[in-house]
Structure 1
């Protein structure tokens, strides 16, 4: 089993599609990627994923394998970085994680704040799902992470950076596109998608919002990330609730509308391990106001 097999497996699991993973993440062909996944399954000895009308779905064995595959890749990258650091002059190093997309608005401010005080700092960046970032913080693979609150964070401390409103996302020619805002009851009979468990905070916010509104939604499918959401909404002509900052990723064929009435929200936090006493961390925490002022 080679690291590339693990990278391919994780990419397909995240994308929910062999085609999307091959073309947009791995720069390879779909038949070649399929062969690599089959080779991995043969090596492991069980089926890890299967095709369905909804795309690629992980088997129970695949779901169990996924977390270990992610950690193996993280550890391999850490080993590589440790080897490189061993032959380089010592300088301050700070590892920062972002939920995918948040770095676009926050990184310029973070980079300026840190380099103003630590000119020679080596900033290591990663972009992942919030649960993966939490695990990396717990294992001290990251110094800080811009992420969503997680349910099990006993050893982590955090400060709120901002609160992101959720907005309805759907095709631009949808019947609801003529409205300036949308009430929950108006989507009762629509094809509706919810975030998968890879984004538990957003998932909880969406489900709780409809529960409070008294709307019994029956989600057609779950989506794993913004790219998957765009693909599913476009192909199935459905809709879903997503954080407002994701609007910058949408093609012209899709649009957003705010929620009418009580708006569901999710917090973006800056989290770190409680045992981390780094002066670089203290500096970043002291600048939380500047970070909160960065455009979403």
Structure 2
């Protein structure tokens, strides 16, 4: 089995089309791609795809194979990235990633942890969606990231904070007069929900809504905090978001805490255990110092 077989299979699985994958992802001919997929299926010993006029779907074997194929490709990329870094005897680096919006709180704390090493290392910083940060960690593009505990990437996580969800609403919404929002206050309201791009937050939110028996008029989906705030203001809807959102609210949106049992979501420092960076090792050894200000607690 060759790496190209894995790349081809992942491309077809993600696009749902042999033609789309061939023309726009792999830049090869569709007949050639079909042959490669057949060769892979013969080697695996089981059909991986169901072909139809609408495209392709994964078989049960294909779904099981997809996760491992992605992980194998990620590990190869991580190995290449590690070799490239090792071949360049330059200043040691630490690539940090942040779930967009969290860098305002956690970047200064991370720099404080590294204060004794800052003159000797080069720190790069980026912000992104949590799943994209996890993917970058798996591929060796980042050394550590502040993100959700994303499954399926083979990463290690150390939780640095458990954060409550709060209700976002237009600043002139009638519910803004309340000190706390009860589950029944959602009845009949427009709800702004998170999309599959934020799977961890989506799961926490859905679990709370189902347990509380909350009914709402209609739902809008959004995949980032900025989009959620915009939709809250424009649709006059409600949204459940982590409490760090309170630091980023425009004048048109306010937040209120929930009454009763409040759903919580974890923020973690994630890293790839195969990453042998000595700078990462020192950072992880001093991670407990992030809790020194009393606002965070490692669990």
Q: TM-score, normalized by length of structure 1?
A: 0.68
**C-alpha distance in structure 1 between counterparts of 2:93 and 2:292, whole Å:** 25
Encode CA deviations 1:180-219: one digit per residue, 9 max, x unaligned.
Answer: 1011121121011101112111111110001111224465
Separation in 2 of the partners of 1:260 and 1:165?
11
For 1:264, the equivalent position in structure 2 comes to: 263
Q: What residue in structure 2 maps to residue 186 of structure 1?
A: 185
Distance 2:116 2:97 in 1: 20
SS at match of 1:90: coil
Q: Which residue of 2 aligns with 1:95?
A: 95
Point out 4+ residue stretches in structure 1 off by more than 3 angstroms: 216-219, 292-296
Work out whether residues 97 and 127 of structure 2, in 8 Å CA contact, stay in contact via their aligned partners in 1. Answer: yes
Superposition RMSD on alpha carbons, in Å? 2.9
SS of alignment partner, residue 101 of structure 1: coil
Residues 15-30 of structure 1 aligned to structure 2 (within 5 Å):
none
Say whether the 8 Å CA contact 2:149–2:267 is kept in structure 1: yes
CA-CA distance at 1:44 after TM superposition: 5.6
Which residue of structure 1 aligns with residue 163 of structure 2?
164
Cross-structure match for 1:54: none
Counterpart Cα distance in 2 of 1:216 and 1:228: 22
Partner of residue 275, structure 2: 276
Name the larger-Rg structure.
Answer: 2
For residue 104 of structure 2, give the secondary structure of its aligned residue in structure 1.
helix
Counterpart contact for 2:190–2:216, Cα < 8 Å: no
Instruction: Please tell me whether the aligned partners of residues 94 and 124 of structure 1 are also in contact (alpha carbons under 8 angstroms).
Output: yes
- Bigger shift: 254-263 or 89-98? 89-98
Counterpart residue number, 2:221: 222
| Residue 286 of structure 1: aligned partner | 285
TM-score, normalized by length of structure 2?
0.67
In structure 2, the residue matched to 1:123 is 123
Q: Extract unaligned runs of 5+ from structure 1.
A: 1-42, 46-59, 62-74
Q: CA deviation at 1:280?
A: 1.7
* Distance across 2 between alignment mates of 1:281 and 1:264: 32
Aligned counterparts of 1:190 and 1:202: Cα–Cα separation in 2: 20
Aligned to 2:150: 150
Q: CA deviation at 1:249?
A: 1.2
SS, match of residue 119 in structure 1: helix
Aligned equivalent of 2:212: 213
